[in-house]
Amino acid sequence: MILMAFEDDTARMKFERIYLQYHRAVLERALTLLRNHHDAEDAAQETWYAVSKNLHLFSEEDPQTLKATILKIVKYKAIDLFRKRSLQDGMTVEQETADYEMTVDDTVLSAICEKESVEKIVSCMREMDERYIDILRLYYLQGNTTREIARLLSLNVKTVETRLARGRALLCQALTKQGFGKASR
């Protein structure tokens, strides 16, 4: 259905290449966040629709940035869908926040990353322990999942999740000391 929306073959082929390259990662990220296959498929579909509508903004020249951008889109689509479902199920905002505290932290940290503060974040990261730097870089800047990071670094997934949580906490502390994130929280 999305492919029929393209008027020219060049755009259609570009979308097909991007889709074939990243469709599994998109679905996996949505499934990780939503923990429900049907909801994950909905979030993935919304992601690909958004990509198709803004295809002119995507460059295939930098695959890491492309993947990170697409995975951010799916994350935000999954969060939107989760919130919508939570409200339909009568879940309170407090319950939603408690259930997805890690996702909320990720959203805040991602928003800070997107606001011209990358240099300061990188400078804070340089002062951190190497084991946290690698995981934060792979997760936030390159858009890898914890499973992908575990495979890349030959670590247990739980170890990656623990280091990510600790690294995130340390990074948030360092950013707060430098005056970041106060307005966005």
| Statement to judge: residues 14 and 60 lie in one domain | yes
The residue from 99, 130, 161 where one domain ends is: 99
- Alpha carbons 138 and 132: distance in angstroms, whole number: 10
Considering the chain, what percentage of its residues have pLDDT values greater than 70?
Answer: 76
pLDDT at position 65 is: 82
- Lowest-confidence pick of 12-21, 62-71, 151-160, 164-173: 62-71
pLDDT per position as a tens digit, 64-114: 888 888 988 898 888 888 777 766 666 544 444 444 444 444 544 554 455
For the chain, what percent of residues have pLDDT higher than 90? 23
Report the alpha-carbon distance of residue 27 to residue 45 in Å, rounded: 9
Domains held by the chain: number: 2
Q: Tell me the average pLDDT across 18-39.
A: 90
Are 89 and 135 part of one and the same domain? no
Write the CATH number for 76. Answer: 1.10.1740.10
Tell me how far apart the alpha carbons of residues 51 and 48 are, in angstroms, rounded to a whole number. 5
- The parent domain of residue 119 ranges over 101-185
Q: What pLDDT does 118 receive?
A: 64
Domain closes at, from 99, 134, 165: 99
Say yes or no: 7 and 55 in one domain. Answer: yes
Q: Which residue has the tokens 């946290």?
A: 132
CATH number at residue 127: 1.10.10.10
**Residue ending a domain, choose from 82, 99, 116:** 99
Instruction: Give the pLDDT of residue 144.
Output: 79
Q: Determine the pLDDT at residue 112.
A: 45
Residues 94 and 109 grouped into a single domain: no
Q: SS3 letters for the chain?
A: CCHHHCCCHHHHHHHHHHHHHHHHHHHHHHHHHHCCHHHHHHHHHHHHHHHHHCHHHCCCCCHHHHHHHHHHHHHHHHHHHHHHHHHHCCCCHHHHHHHCHHHHHHHHHHHHHHCCCHHHHHHHHHCCCHHHHHHHHHHHHCCCCHHHHHHHHCCCHHHHHHHHHHHHHHHHHHHHHCCCCCCCC
Higher-pLDDT residue of 28, 89:
28
Do the Cβ atoms of 135 and 164 come closer than 8 Å? yes
pLDDT in the model for residue 10: 92
Top mean pLDDT of 42-46, 55-59, 71-75, 93-97 is at 42-46
